[in-house]
């Protein structure tokens, strides 16, 4: 309930500071209070325990879902384990955080892992902040695409997560296409999204990211005007601003992941502008 401070602030401001404009001042103060209470408040999880910070819950949920997706293919491979280790390394987790991440990854591998309950609790803990929830889904999609393919079981898990977090099938498909295209701006290889026996297949190319990839990253069409493309770019950059995400519950250790995503968006926009001759 992140609106209680706003309501109380408006009422008190209206009463003690002189009418409507006093109420607006109280509303602003109440909004600041709600924000601070959200940042400092603790959350609980039936899986990871009570009295957690949102950052800790985000981190543990991330690694648990990584473990669950890895197990979906039948068995967890050394590549899956190395992917989790690489993420831990990029986050520069200390010994205690690594232990929590490893424990969460192991929990996720369990055949009885309650995915729906974990994600529902995660959504509630995040206060349904859409940009933070979308970033969580993007992290999972990016991890699942690391091996160059996405089988039906992995895709089903990802959609289940997205659906619980409030996304439609169309939104999910669009995000998946955006994340797959963004990989080109990170790794320099070209992924072609194609359905072959229920799989996403990847083809290699030395040409690097294409203009089509850039449009997919921004979620726009080649026929869109400059203002439309610019609005999409600015919206995505705002949603992926590392400092804003951290304030809403993203672990500070994941700022580099957010920065990399922002760099991918920037690179895609720059490619479009350069090709179109836009300034």
How many angstroms separate the CA atoms of 194 and 36, rounded?
A: 45
Q: Which residues pair with 43 in a beta bridge?
A: 52
Domain locations in the chain as residue ranges: 4-40, 43-276
Q: Give the residue-averaged pLDDT of 219-230.
A: 94
Q: How far apart are the first and last CA of the chain?
A: 43
Q: Which residues contact 95 (CB under 8 A, 6 or more apart)?
A: none
Q: Which of 91-105, 183-197, 245-259 has the highest mean pLDDT?
A: 91-105
Tokens of 156: 């089903």
How many angstroms separate the CA atoms of 180 and 264, rounded?
A: 11
238 by Cβ neighbours in 10 Å (0-12 / 13-18 / 19+) ranks as: exposed
Could you give phi then psi for residue 164, rounded to 5 degrees? Answer: -65, -35
Closest CA to 36 of 5, 60, 78, 61: 5
Q: How far is CA 56 from the centre of its chain?
A: 15
Q: Which of 88-102, 204-218, 264-278 has the highest mean pLDDT?
A: 264-278
Tokens of 59: 């981190």
**Higher pLDDT pick, 16 / 137:** 137
Lowest mean pLDDT among 34-48, 61-75, 157-171, 199-213: 199-213
Cα-based distances in Å from 112 to 106, 108, 276: 12, 9, 52
Tell me if residue 177 falls in helix, strand or coil.
Answer: helix
- Cβ–Cβ under 8 Å, residues 53 and 43: yes
pLDDT at residue 149, as a whole number: 75
| 55-91 pLDDT, tens digit each | 888 899 999 999 999 888 778 888 888 888 888 887 8
Residue 26 pLDDT greater than 70, yes or no: no
């Amino acid at each position: 309930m992140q609106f209680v401070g706003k309501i109380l602030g408006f009422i008190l401001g209206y009463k003690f500071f002189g009418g409507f404009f006093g109420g607006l001042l109280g509303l602003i103060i109440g909004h600041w209070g709600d924000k601070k209470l959200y940042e400092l408040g603790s959350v609980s999880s039936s899986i990871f325990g009570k009295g957690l910070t949102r950052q800790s819950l985000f981190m543990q949920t991330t690694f648990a879902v990584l473990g669950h997706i890895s197990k979906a293919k039948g068995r967890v491979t050394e590549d899956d384990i190395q992917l989790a280790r690489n993420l831990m390394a990029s986050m520069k987790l200390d010994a205690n955080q690594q232990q929590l991440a490893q424990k969460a990854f192991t929990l996720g591998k369990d055949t009885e892992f309650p995915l729906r309950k974990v994600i529902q609790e995660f959504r509630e803990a995040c206060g349904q902040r859409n940009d933070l929830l979308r970033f969580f889904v993007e992290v999972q999609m990016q991890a699942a695409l690391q091996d160059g393919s996405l089988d039906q079981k992995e895709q089903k898990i990802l959609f289940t997560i997205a659906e619980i977090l409030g996304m439609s099938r169309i939104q999910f498909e669009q995000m998946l296409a955006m994340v797959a295209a963004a990989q080109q701006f990170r790794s320099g290889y070209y992924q072609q999204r194609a359905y072959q026996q229920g799989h996403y297949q990847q083809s290699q190319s030395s040409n690097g990211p294409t203009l089509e990839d850039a449009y997919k990253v921004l979620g726009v069409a080649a026929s869109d005007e400059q203002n439309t493309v610019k609005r999409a770019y600015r919206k995505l950059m705002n949603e992926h601003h590392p400092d804003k995400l951290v304030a809403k519950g993203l672990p500070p250790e994941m700022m580099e992941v957010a920065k990399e995503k922002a760099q991918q968006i920037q690179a895609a926009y720059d490619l479009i502008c350069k090709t179109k001759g836009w300034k």
